[in-house]
Amino acid sequence: MVLVTNVTLAMVCCIYCCICWGSWANTQKLVQKKDWKSFLFYWDYILGFFLTALLGLLAFNGGHFFSNLTWSAVLWPLLGGLVWNLANIFLTAANGVAGMSVGFPIGGGLGWVGGIIFNYFSSGFTGNKPLLWFGVVLAIAAMVLCGVSYSKLAGSQKKSPKAGIIFAVISGFGFAFFYGLVVKGTAPTFGGVGTLSPYQSVFFFALAVIISTLFLCPVAMKHSVEGKTTLKDYFNNGDSRTHLIGMLGGFIWMSGMVISFMTAQAPVNKAVSYALSNASPLVAMIWGVLIWREFKEAPKGTMKYVYAMFLCFLAALVIIAASN
């Protein structure tokens, strides 16, 4: 089995995960158009997501792919997959309505803070507690600044900011818990209470996601604020380039997850490793603000809130990493 046990290399793996989780939505932006809305993209995204998890299991688990399976252990990542998928559907909707630089800082940021707190109490924390909590406070401040920034932008465009913010907040609650649930399915030597290897747990997590998508995505397509779409639209409106870019988005996200779980035996506190891996709002904000220029039509004075949000997230990331 391929695992990373060096602390420095483990930190690098967590940062790689952070970059992946903050970058996958670029593929959504690349294919988003009038006849290819968010939840048509989602089918391709989840297919790439699942295939990457399967590849991770085959490449890194060292054989015995389905040994040591118990229902009590498998249940944890299956539950984590369902929770994550519900959260990610709302995040995809938020990105479609409000953009990456809003959906991620609020949804991902809330999940980031909630997950740190969850892992803090569930796994114990032996690092610098004042530093950790100061970082959490800065992350919360960044989310508030994001809400203020988007409210100003939406007001200038004469549209309500409520839908994008509400979707992002709902997604954040799910993101706060999924990671800990997937970890719980692993054997005690990997930080869990089950019998699975890290790659087995990630695979069953992805299996729950792809199965639940068959039920959740059609509902989201029917009630999307972007407009109703059907599976007929999926087959009629998408070309091979569109489908491959969507699958690439799934590969990007899941490759980060696989690499993150590669550090399961590294001597890094779970709260800190989670914080580094899930600092994706910082990455997504860079893409959304600097590359996609989602705030280019914002009224004068808005960018000071955006830059303050960026600095708060960056400071939170550095301080939380230093608390290990």
Q: Model-level pTM? A: 0.89
Query: Is 207 within a domain?
Result: yes
Q: Which of 176-185, 243-252, 263-272 has the highest mean predicted lDDT (pLDDT)?
A: 243-252
C-alpha 93/C-alpha 166 separation (Å) is: 10
Of residues 292 and 294, the one with the higher pLDDT is 292
Contact 258, 60 (CB under 8 A): yes
Query: Is 232 within a domain?
Result: yes
Query: Is 119 within a domain?
Result: yes
C-alpha 187/C-alpha 182 separation (Å) is: 11
- For 110-137, the pLDDT digits (tens) are 888 888 887 777 766 777 889 989 988 9
Query: Is 1 within a domain?
Result: no
Residue 121: the pLDDT is 79
Residue 158: the pLDDT is 66
Q: How many domains does the chain have?
A: 1
When the pLDDT of each residue in the chain is averaged and rounded to a whole number, the result is 89
C-alpha 262/C-alpha 293 separation (Å) is: 35
pLDDT band at 160 (very low <50, low <70, confident <90, very high): low
Q: Buried (b) or exposed (e) across 132-160, using 16+ Cβ within 10 A? A: bbbbbebbbbbbbbbbbbbbbbbeeeeee
Residue 170 has pLDDT above 70, yes or no: yes
Query: Is 2 within a domain?
Result: no
- For 142-156, the pLDDT digits (tens) are 888 988 888 888 877
Owning domain of residue 12? 7-322
Query: Is 35 within a domain?
Result: yes
Q: Which of 33-42, 89-98, 114-123 has the highest mean predicted lDDT (pLDDT)?
A: 33-42
Nearest CA to 171 out of 143, 194, 211 is that of: 143
| 14 token code pair | 């967590």
| Least confident window among 214-218, 245-249, 267-271, 278-282 | 267-271
Residue 271 has pLDDT above 70, yes or no: no
Tell me whether residue 309 is exposed, middle or buried, using C-beta atoms within 10 angstroms of its C-beta: 0 to 12, 13 to 18, 19 or more: buried
